[in-house]
Structure 1
């Protein structure tokens, strides 16, 4: 089956709605999804350098489109290996620093095999950052700060998310991921 950009986007939106919004993993996501202010970009490159260029192009796009709150960049053909993905994230953060994006944008990271440092790969806590495809979530710092100001104690969010993951269990979490990958024909 060919994974068209449209299909990858549809699957990613389903995952955001069912997992991120549905389980309230990010309490700020629902509002932006309802406002349709989340941009989804599929990057087909098989080279990290091109992916970095695409990331910076997206930063510039957001600079020119303040009505778009955030972008999720999806890499369906790159970074199947989680550790290569982490190397890319380091490069992405470095280039964003060099391009003076610090304080303007930040990255959130998601990968199908996400594993937090110090965690075992099978720990359910990793599911808070597991996604159908490798992706970067490009966030506006000012919006993050406003959301934190409105929400209050955001330090409790990761702990609450881990509690939700543990309560649901690996099988239920895998099912949500699997369901997001279903095609309309499946």
Structure 2
């Protein structure tokens, strides 16, 4: 698949996941507004080397920090040709945090992980609660700290969101999650 087609497909799949799961199930009550206002920037790293992803991450962090929040509130950076293994992706997060630190953006931005095989520590791989952070492709969500602060002000019991999400997903079950059809539409071998 050529890079342009892959990029378009990855963005469409990610938007479907965002609309059906994240917003549709209200897994993140703060996602709907920037989505509706067109303030989410979607970026795709089509390279297959982690070094290329780090360079693109650096560029995307810088661009987000410099952008007017009214135009670009947040960024989703997807890497469809990399880190199919969740543990490799999880290890990569240390390098992502190092980039944030090198840019002097700690306390300004943060990076949140999403992955098709996301697994919280102490859970089984097939635990439905892991779906709260399962996206179609390995994804780095670049978030403004100010946005998090505003969200916490608006929803002071933010820690209850996670517990509520687990309860929603347990009620939905694996079959209900599968019925949302929020996975990748391109097989790993075709990327």
Give the TM-score taking structure 1 as reference length: 0.92
How far 1:63 sits from its partner (Å)?
2.3
Partner of 1:175: 179
CA distance in 1, matches of 2:120, 2:39: 29
How far 1:23 moved relative to its partner? 0.4
Pairing partner for 1:132 from 130, 136, 140: 136
- Offset, 1:42: 0.6
**CA distance in structure 2 between the aligned counterparts of 1:175 and 1:182, rounded to whole angstroms:** 14
- Give CA-to-partner distance per residue, 1:100-124, whole Å, 9 cap, x none: 2110001111100000011110111
Q: Deviations over 1:123-178 (max 9, x none)?
A: 111010011111010000011101111122101010000001101001111232x3
Q: Separation in 2 of the partners of 1:179 and 1:15?
A: 5
Partner of 1:147: 151
Post-superposition Cα deviations, 1:79-104, rounded to whole Å, max 9, x if no partner, equal 11111101111110122123221100
- What is the RMSD computed on CA atoms of the aligned residues? 1.5
The equivalent residue for 1:101 is: 105
Post-superposition CA distance 1:20-54 (Å, at most 9, x none): 00000000000110001001101112111111110
* Alignment partner, residue 77 of structure 2: 73
Residue matched to 1:24: 26
Q: Give the SS at the match of 1:4.
A: helix
Q: CA deviation at 1:181?
A: 4.1
Q: Structure 1 unaligned runs (5+)?
A: none
Cα distance in 2 for residues equivalent to 1:68 and 1:21: 18
1:113 is the counterpart of 2:117: yes
Partner of 1:56: 58
Q: Taking structure 2 as the reference length, what is the TM-score of the superposition?
A: 0.90
**3-state DSSP of counterpart to 1:139:** strand
- Residues 127 and 37 from structure 1, CA distance in 2 versus in 1: closer, same or farther, beyond 3 angstroms? same
> Does 2:85 align with 1:85?
no
Query: Structure 1 residue 64: deviation in Å?
Result: 2.5
